[in-house]
Amino acid sequence: MVLLGLFTISDAAQNTPAQDPGEPPQGQPHPELLSRPGGAIARQSVDEKAMQVLIHELVGCGTRHSLSSWTDSKRGIGCGRDFVAMRFRQISAESGGKLQVTVNEFAATSERTGGKPVPMENVYAILPGNDPKLAKTLFIVSGHMDSISSRWTDPEPDAPGADDDASGTTVSVECARLLSKAAASGQGFPRATILFAAVSGEEQGLLGSKHMLDWIKEQGYTVGGMLDDDIVGADLAPGGPHRVRLFSGNGTVDDCDSPSRELARAIEEIDGRSAIRMIFRVDRYGRGGDHYYFYKAGLPAVRFTEPLEDYTHQHQTPRTENGIVYGDMEKYLDFKFMGDVARDNAEALRQLAMAPAPPARTILKGAVTPDAKISWTAEEDPERAGFEILWRETTESRWQVYDFVVTGTETILKGVSTDNHYYAVRAVGKNGARSIAVATEAN
Ligand SMILES: [Zn+2]
C-alpha cells in the first residue's frame, strides 16, 4: 500500500500540466547562449606539490594561535605569516611582478583576546584588474592562517591547524599562482581586481576578516564576491570524486536570492554540479566563518568546506586519549581533493573577474497586469554583449535563462505572470563571462 501510494504521487508530479494560464503562450523564447570563456584553468596545472610544501611549513610553526608570537621566526603565527608572504612574493616574481603583496597590521579586541586589543596581521596579494572601471571591484579568495588548540585562549600548546585552516590559506595562495600566471599570459584577464588573502584572528571571533572588510572599503573597492575557504583539505572517504560543500546564506528576503546565494549559483554553474554541492545555509549548523561579516553586510560571500568533517581533528591539542588520536595533522589531508578545490576556486575567480559588472536596480513591475516588466540600470561597457533575463519556478533552486537582451535596459515578458516565478538579470560579456545574477525587487 505504501509503495503504491508513492508511485501515485510521483506519477502525478511528473505529469504536471504545462498549460497553466499566465505562462508564456508559445513556450519561452530560446535565447542563443554565448559559450563561457575559453582558457579554463586546467586541473593538471594545479601544483599539489607546492601546496604540500606550504602546508608543511605552516604546520612546522608549531602553533599559529593569533595570540602567539608575531616576531619569532620559528614558532607562532609570525612564522606562518612569513611563509605565506614569502610564497606570495615568490609567485609574484615568477609572474613578472603581477602581484602586489601587503602585510596589513592592525589591532583587534574580542572576548577571546581577553577583552583587550591585541596585534593582528593579514597578508594580501593583489592582482590588479586591467579595466579602469572594473578594477575598483574586488573578487576575494581567503583562508585563515591562524590555528587553535583545545585551550582556545592559550597560545602555548601545539596547534598544527593543517586542515583548519592551512588548507584554505594554501588554496588562496595556489589561486594566486594559477591566476597571476593566467594574467601574465595576457588575453584580457582580469578585468576586475582579485585579492588573495590569508587572515588572522578567525578563531578569536573572525577578527581578521572583519578588519579586511573595513580595509577594502577604505581602499575604495566594492566587493564583487568573497570566497572563504576554511577546512577544505580532507576527504574522509577518499576515492570520490566528492563535491566540496559551498555554503550561502538566504539573506533577508523570502525568495532565497541574496547576493551570497547568487554567488553560490554562479560558482556552481562555472565549476559544475559534480564539483560543487550547494548548501543553502550561511554555514555549518551553529558554526561560523570569515564570509560571515561580508554576508551580513549584504555582499556576495560564500564558504567552501570539505564534504564531511572529522571533529577529532579540529581545534584539538595533538594527543592520544582512550585509543583515539586527536589533532589537526598533515597526515589526514588529501591533496588530490585540495587540488580540486584550488582549481574550482581559481576558475570561478577567473570567470567572475572577466565578466561585466552586474546590473543594478533590477525591478519587476506588472503586478495585476498580464505581462512581467523587468528593468535594470547598467553603466556603459563596450565589452558587454547584453543581458540574460533569468527566471525560475519559486520551488526551484537554480535559474534558467529566459531571454537575452542585447540593447536597452528593459524587457517585457509578454503573457508571463509576475506571480508564478522569480526573476533576475545578469550581464554577459562578449567573452562569454557572466556577472552574478541580480534578483528583481518589487517596484
Ligand atoms: Zn577555520
DSSP symbols for 58-80: HHTTSB--TTS-SS-SSSSHHHH
Among 189, 98, 192, smallest CA distance to 136 is for 192
CA of 309 to the centre of ligand 1 (A): 11
Task: Give φ, ψ of 63 to 5 degrees.
Answer: -140, 155
Q: Is residue 322 predicted with pLDDT exceeding 60?
A: yes
* Alpha-carbon distances, residue 11 vs 7, 16, 20, 393 (angstroms): 6, 9, 18, 20
CA of 172 to the centre of ligand 1 (A): 14
SS3 content of the chain, % helix, strand, coil (to 5): 30, 25, 45
Residue 10 is predicted with a pLDDT of 45
Instruction: Take residue 200 and report the three cell numbers written for it.
Output: 588572522
Residue 29 is predicted with a pLDDT of 78
Sign of dihedral through CA atoms 179, 184, 188, 190? Answer: positive
CA of 143 to the centre of ligand 1 (A): 8
Confidence band of 26 (pLDDT split at 50, 70, 90): low
Sign of dihedral through CA atoms 234, 236, 239, 242? Answer: negative
Confidence band of 314 (pLDDT split at 50, 70, 90): confident
CA of 311 to the centre of ligand 1 (A): 12
Q: Where are the alpha helices (DSSP H) in 297-413?
A: 335-354
CA of 328 to the centre of ligand 1 (A): 11
Q: Is residue 21 predicted with pLDDT exceeding 90?
A: no
Distance of CA 209 to the CA centre of its chain: 14
Residue 16 is predicted with a pLDDT of 52
CA of 149 to the centre of ligand 1 (A): 12
Compute the C-alpha angle 163/290/112, nearest 5°.
Answer: 85
CA of 287 to the centre of ligand 1 (A): 10
Task: Give φ, ψ of 293 to 5 degrees.
Answer: -70, -30
Confidence band of 423 (pLDDT split at 50, 70, 90): very high
Residue 28 is predicted with a pLDDT of 66
CA atoms within 13 A on the CB side of 65: 22
CA of 344 to the centre of ligand 1 (A): 19
- What is the rounded distance in angstroms from the CA atom of residue 226 to the CA atom of residue 203? 19
- What is the rounded distance in angstroms from the CA atom of residue 331 to the CA atom of residue 175? 23
Among 52, 141, 143, 39, smallest CA distance to 336 is for 52
- What is the rounded distance in angstroms from the CA atom of residue 189 to the CA atom of residue 427? 17
Hunting for cell 495585476 — which residue is that? 368
CA of 292 to the centre of ligand 1 (A): 12
For 113-123, write each residue's pLDDT tens digit.
Answer: 999 999 999 99
Residue 24 is predicted with a pLDDT of 77
Among 245, 119, 139, smallest CA distance to 190 is for 139
CA of 78 to the centre of ligand 1 (A): 18
Among 139, 174, 176, smallest CA distance to 340 is for 174
Compute the C-alpha angle 400/404/406, nearest 5°.
Answer: 155
Instruction: Take residue 79 and report the three cell numbers written for it.
Output: 612564522
CA of 46 to the centre of ligand 1 (A): 23
Q: Which residues neighbour 333 within 8 Å (Cβ) at sequence distance 6 or greater?
A: 55, 162, 163, 167, 233, 234
CA of 60 to the centre of ligand 1 (A): 18
Task: Give φ, ψ of 442 to 5 degrees.
Answer: -70, 155
CA of 205 to the centre of ligand 1 (A): 11
- What is the rounded distance in angstroms from the CA atom of residue 292 to the CA atom of residue 305? 14
Count Cβ atoms below 10 Å from residue 249 Cβ, excluding itself: 22
CA of 283 to the centre of ligand 1 (A): 12
Q: Where are the alpha helices (DSSP H) in 219-258?
A: none
Residues with CB under 5 A from ligand 1 (ion): 164-165, 230
- What is the rounded distance in angstroms from the CA atom of residue 56 to the CA atom of residue 79? 12
Residue 241 is predicted with a pLDDT of 76
For 216-273, write each residue's pLDDT tens digit.
Answer: 999 999 999 999 999 999 988 877 778 999 999 998 876 779 999 999 999 999 999 9
CA of 289 to the centre of ligand 1 (A): 7
Instruction: Take residue 191 and report the three cell numbers written for it.
Output: 578585468
Average pLDDT, the chain: 92
CA of 92 to the centre of ligand 1 (A): 26
For 145-198, write each residue's pLDDT tens digit.
Answer: 999 998 888 999 999 999 999 999 999 999 999 999 999 987 789 999 999 999
The amino acid occupying position 115 is G
Tell me the pTM: 0.94
- What is the rounded distance in angstroms from the CA atom of residue 132 to the CA atom of residue 66? 37
Count Cβ atoms below 10 Å from residue 135 Cβ, excluding itself: 15
Confidence band of 43 (pLDDT split at 50, 70, 90): very high
CA of 355 to the centre of ligand 1 (A): 30
